[in-house]
Structure 1
């Protein structure tokens, strides 16, 4: 004969008392804790993105290659434009690569703007160690 209790629901398992330890109450959900953790993670990511942008993402110094011409076995003429703060200056890294992608020349080129200018157009001749395929401006930064 089986023992039935009035407080047990049919289909619920019946465990002998003391045999399996204390049964846990169903856990309470804490949506405020999840929201708080999400807010903290978003704040940390925002601060990290802002600091990285301050350090590496300076849109004040922007360079665009207009053309590269006069390609010979020993050099290339790179024509580029640099945007700097009004009357400011910059140092741009200009390089040439061969057809297989190897770097065949690299130079730092100082660029200065007149007091009323923001865009400076520069032509610079790179002397290369092999025949170049392309001339490019890697980056521009404020002078040290």
Structure 2
């Protein structure tokens, strides 16, 4: 035989008194505290990101391909411009790819800006193992 009470919602379980201990009252929620903790976490991660980027990032070394010409079965001429710190040097990685996307040539090139200048424009003849379709600059970093 089941026991029914007028104060119990339909479908809610009925527990015998004293058998399972004291029932807890629903806890008070604190959405403001959770939002504040989330905001502090986001701010801390943002500060850490900015610190690491300024410490390890290379925003001053930027390369742009001007043109690639002189394509033959064994080489490509790559004209490119590099922005470096004033009077600084950079080591850039150049790559040539064939029409199917395979890498057919790669070389590291060091460029140096004249004193007082921040940009270096240069032309490099990149040797390839097959006919290239494109010549590109992958990245530039401070010269070692």
> How does the TM-score come out when normalised to structure 2?
0.84
Alignment match, 1:102: 102
What's the CA shift for 1:78? 0.2
| Ranges in structure 1 where 5+ consecutive residues have no aligned partner | none
Aligned length: 139
What's the CA shift for 1:107? 0.6
Alignment match, 1:115: 115
Query: Which segment is superposed worse, 133-142 or 55-64?
Result: 55-64
* Distance in 2 of aligned mates of 1:53 and 1:100: 35
Alignment match, 1:59: 59
* Distance in 1 of aligned mates of 2:52 and 2:132: 34
* Distance in 1 of aligned mates of 2:123 and 2:107: 13
Query: Which segment is superposed worse, 123-132 or 33-42?
Result: 33-42
What's the CA shift for 1:49? 2.1
1:1-144 aligned within 5 A: 10-12=7-9, 15-54=15-54, 57-144=57-144
The ranges of structure 1 where at least 4 consecutive aligned residues each deviate by more than 6 angstroms after the TM superposition are: none
* Distance in 2 of aligned mates of 1:35 and 1:83: 43
* Distance in 1 of aligned mates of 2:109 and 2:8: 82
Q: CA RMSD in A?
A: 2.3
* Distance in 1 of aligned mates of 2:26 and 2:84: 63
What's the CA shift for 1:116? 1.6
SS of the equivalent of 2:33 reads helix
> How does the TM-score come out when normalised to structure 1?
0.84
Query: Which segment is superposed worse, 132-141 or 23-32?
Result: 23-32
